[in-house]
Chains A and B, each alone.
Chain A
Amino acid sequence: MTTEPILKVENLTIDVPMAQGTLHAVRGIDFELRRGETLCIVGESGSGKSLTSLALMGLLPKKMRCKAAGLDFSGIDLQRQTPKAMRALRGDRMAMIFQEPMTSLNPAYTIGDQLMEALLLHRPVSKAEARARAIELLGKVGITAAESRLGQYPHQLSGGLRQRVMIAMALMCEPELIIADEPTTALDVTIQAQILRLLADLQREMNMAMILVTHDLGVVARIADKVVVMYAGEVVENGSAREIFENPRHPYTRGLLRCIPVPGKTKPGEHLGSIPGIVPSLIGKVEGCAFRSRCEVAEDACSSPVPVRRPGTDHAYRCIHDIPEGASA
């Protein structure tokens, strides 16, 4: 794929002013995304992955300060847009799917009304056309009897169905970029798999760029083209999904991968890996590698600035050690 990236993020930082000082929630994130690609942002709670996705949509709460050297969406500088221009983009060319299907739908309106809302808001279509599009998309996301569902209220639907409706809602205007913030965490495992397959299929069919925020590496392995591993507000490793899973370099990525059982490799009764310790506080000045307090190979030098190492064209990690391929950390 040699096309121009549709989304370019350069050195994105997000600061949250708090009573105890400034919380540096996200510190210098870079990535690029082309149409048809799926980028997974992986990290544990509080690593800044959700904030990053909100920042892309321009939905950060006002008190949070967001800066970037470049925030470019198909030639549009997202940082320079007026609130009105951002509203015109949101829901039309970029859409978002939220984590909680139970509260993401307004209980006061029917499914149909909510599906049609985005389309009516952004496109000069008639109600009948919007309705037809809503029925078409409900069918696409695998909801049977789509027509009769339009008149139902959210409380009449199960969690899996609601998440399908949310996906249909996000796709109403055929966005170029879709951001899914942990779309499957609130669902049970069998439904998770269905929803993920659905997302992946639709993404391929509509040739969208997709950002999937998750902390589930199993999900990542299944659908990602590119992976960004975040730890404490920083990208510790990024690269193609194949590189990350086959040749993880950064100790954190390796630790994460040891936490999941691999069919055929993990023997019965064997202990899974774990990463001791907790995420450090990001309030105040953060220097050096944020992972050093939990890292097995940490040394004194880790508190000085950390270089970015590039073992391949599509692979980078941030560590003071030049970690060779395959060596166990």
Chain B
Amino acid sequence: MARTIETVAEELRAPSPAAILRKRVFGHYGLVFGIAVLAVIVLIALLAPLLAGHDPYAQDLVARMKPPFWMEGSDPEHLLGTDHLGRDYLARLLYGARISLSIGLFAALISGLIGTAMGVAAGYFGGRVDLVVTFLINVRLAMPVVLVALAVVAILGGSLQVVVCVLGLLLWDRFAVVMRSSVLQVRDLEYVNAAKAIGCSTRRIILLEIMPNVVNNLIVVVTLEMAHAILLEAALSFLGLGVQPPTPSWGLMISEGKQMMLFEPWLIAIPGVALFVLVLAINLLGDGLRDVTAPENRG
């Protein structure tokens, strides 16, 4: 192989940081796949009224239990068929994406705020604060999430808001654990001392000196907890204690289809696959982001 001065120079030229980042992101197939699928689902959720063509709540008892397009006797009006009340299954699936995504997002947001605040306080201040937070984390870990959620929803009644709040108040443990340990690692570094030495207030040190250096650990936890919350919502709705009918939630759709499981398996297969794909995409995204942001992979 002939190596001229030019090719060697080309090899030696350091790529720009943006180019390195681009290469890392696009070289990670799982991450690319996760981003693509999630983007499609988000678009679907946002554009549901335009895409659906049907009202997800409109019942049509004459056209009930129509099979989807790949089966005999399907109606081209209803691509994915209709449910037991004659509601368009495609429309319900598309609107259902809104429920799942917003539950995932808001539950992760609430629990993220709670868990981050607790974890950072425990990690930074240590001592008694740490004792209290660690105790709370242990208490929380000792509670079975599904049972507590069931009990609370049974008392307060199921609705989207209640489910979001309950999940948000239950899923903060991982945020707290992760933030506590990452802040512990950072708080004794000299730049934190240096910030104190130039007269920064505690609030400023936590928000501007420590947070930027630990926030990448949050990204992964956010995606994990989003997937977790989405699955829990589906489980609660399936048990009849989550989002209440006639709201189109994927868990509820599976629940409503379960009586017909033997004869019309597509009724649960379609929302089941949707749920699977969404959670898979979120998990791939989280995995990929961790790989890309992990310091040991920085080129």
Contacts and interface: CB of A to CB of B under 8 A. Distances in A.
Contacts of A106: 191, 195, 209, 212-213
B71 interface: no
A291 B293 CA distance: 52
Contacts of B209: 106
B199 A99 contact: no
Nearest to B212: A108
Nearest to B195: A106
A258 interface: no
A103 B198 contact: no
A121 B199 contact: yes
A222 B196 CA distance: 30
Contact of A107 (B193, B200, B213): B213
Interface centre among B190, B194, B201 (most CB of A within 10 A): B194
A96 to B, nearest CB: 4
Interface in A52-97: 57, 59, 86-92, 95-96
B interface, size bucket: 10 to 19
B147 interface: no
A118 B212 contact: no
B197 interface: yes
A57 B197 contact: yes
A88 B199 contact: yes
A314 to B, nearest CB: 30
Interface residues of A, number: 28
Nearest to A104: B190
A1 B195 CA distance: 34
Contacts of A105: 191, 194
Given A98-B194, A166-B194, A108 B213 contact: yes
B198 A169 contact: yes
A254 interface: no
A157 to B, nearest CB: 14
Nearest to B196: A59
Contacts of A103: 189-191
Contacts of A122: 199
Contacts of B195: 106, 117
Contacts of B201: 87
B194 A104 contact: yes
A100 B190 contact: yes
A59 B193 CA distance: 8
Contacts of A92: 199
A170 B199 CA distance: 11
A182 B51 CA distance: 67
Per DSSP, chain B at the interface is: helix
A288 to B, nearest CB: 35
Interface string B189-224: 111011111111100000001001100000000000
B213 A118 contact: no
B195 to A, nearest CB: 7
B198 A99 contact: no
Interface in B174-188: none
Nearest to A121: B199
B262 to A, nearest CB: 57
Contacts of B197: 57, 59, 90-91, 95-96, 98, 170
A166 B190 CA distance: 11
A178 B19 CA distance: 42
B200 A121 contact: yes
A122 B197 CA distance: 12
A109 B212 CA distance: 9
A118 B199 CA distance: 8
Contact of B200 (A57, A87, A95, A99): A87
A277 B199 CA distance: 41
A86 B199 CA distance: 8
B199 A91 contact: yes
A69 B196 CA distance: 25
A319 B257 CA distance: 92
A90 B193 contact: no
Nearest to A57: B197
Contacts of A88: 199
Contact of A95 (B190, B191, B193, B198): B198
A57 B199 CA distance: 10
B200 to A, nearest CB: 7
Given A104-B191, A104-B194, A107-B213, 8 more contacts: A59-B197, A87-B200, A87-B201, A90-B199, A91-B200, A106-B195, A117-B195, A117-B198
Interface of B: 189-191, 193-201, 209, 212-213
Interface of A: 57, 59, 86-92, 95-96, 98-100, 103-109, 117-118, 121-122, 166, 169-170
18 contacts: A59-B193, A91-B198, A91-B200, A95-B197, A98-B194, A99-B190, A103-B189, A103-B190, A103-B191, A104-B193, A105-B191, A106-B191, A106-B212, A108-B212, A109-B212, A117-B198, A118-B199, A170-B198
